[in-house]
Amino acid sequence: MQRDGPLPRLRQHHEKSETFSRKIGSGLHRNWKRSLAGAALLLLLEALGQSSASAATIFVGGQCTLARAITAANTDTTAGGFCRRGRGADRIVLPRKRTFSLRTVTSVINGPTGMPRITSKISIKGNGSVIQRIRTAPRFRIFTVVKGGSLTLNRVRIRGGYDASRRTGPNRGGGAILNFGVVVINNSIISQNTSTFAGGAIASTGIVTINKTWITANTTINRVRGGGAGGAIYSRNPLPNVVSVRIKNTTISRNRSTGYAGGLSVSGNVSISRTTITANLGRVVGGLQAIRANIKVISSIIVRNTGTLGGGLDIHQSIFTVVRTIVSGDRVKVRIRVEVRTDTLTQVINLGHNCWGYIRRAGLVGFAPGPTDIVPAVVTPAQIVDPTLDRENGFPPTLDLPSTSPAIDAVNDGTCPTTADQGGVPSVDGNGDGGPACDIGAVEEGAMPQPVGLLPPLPVGTEPPPVGEQPPPPVGEQTPPVEEAPPPVQEPPPPPPVGEQTPPVEEAPPPVQEPPPPPPEQTPPPPNDNGQPDDNGQPDDIGAPDDTGVSDNSTAPDDSGQQ
Does residue 124 have a pLDDT over 50? Answer: yes
Measured between alpha carbons, how far is 105 from 512 in angstroms, rounded to an integer?
A: 39
Average pLDDT over the chain, rounded to whole? 78
Does residue 81 have a pLDDT over 90? Answer: yes
pLDDT attached to residue 153: 98
Name the E strands within 431-479.
none
Q: What is the DSSP string of 193-243?
A: -EESSB-SSEEESSEEEEES-EEES-EE---STT--B-SSEEE----TTSE
Enclosing H/E stretch for 49: helix 6-53
**Contact of 365 with 338, CB cutoff 8 Å:** yes
Average pLDDT (271-286) is: 95
Which tops the pLDDT comparison, 271 or 33? 271
Radius of gyration of the chain (CA): 29
pLDDT attached to residue 284: 87
Work out the pLDDT band at 125, boundaries 50, 70, 90: very high
pTM, rounded to two decimals: 0.75
Which sign does the torsion angle of CA 379, 476, 388, 412 carry? positive
Write the burial class of residue 495 (CB in 10 Å: 0-12 exposed, 13-18 middle, 19+ buried).
middle
Does residue 280 have a pLDDT over 70? Answer: yes
Which tops the pLDDT comparison, 138 or 28? 138
pLDDT attached to residue 473: 42
Which has the minimum average pLDDT: 88-97, 222-231, 384-393, 442-451?
442-451
**Contact of 260 with 229, CB cutoff 8 Å:** yes
Average pLDDT (239-252) is: 94
Which has the minimum average pLDDT: 102-106, 123-127, 164-168, 363-367?
164-168
> What are the tens digits of pLDDT across the range 147-161?
999 999 999 999 999
Phi, psi of 541 (to 5 degrees): -125, 30
* Total residue count of the chain as it appears in this document: 563
Name the E strands within 109-201.
121-133, 143-145, 150-159, 162-163, 177-179, 182-186, 189-191, 194-195
pLDDT attached to residue 461: 37
26 φψ region: left (φ > 0), alpha (ψ -120 to 50), beta (else): alpha
Average pLDDT (323-335) is: 85
**Contact of 182 with 151, CB cutoff 8 Å:** yes
Q: What is the DSSP letter of 183?
A: E
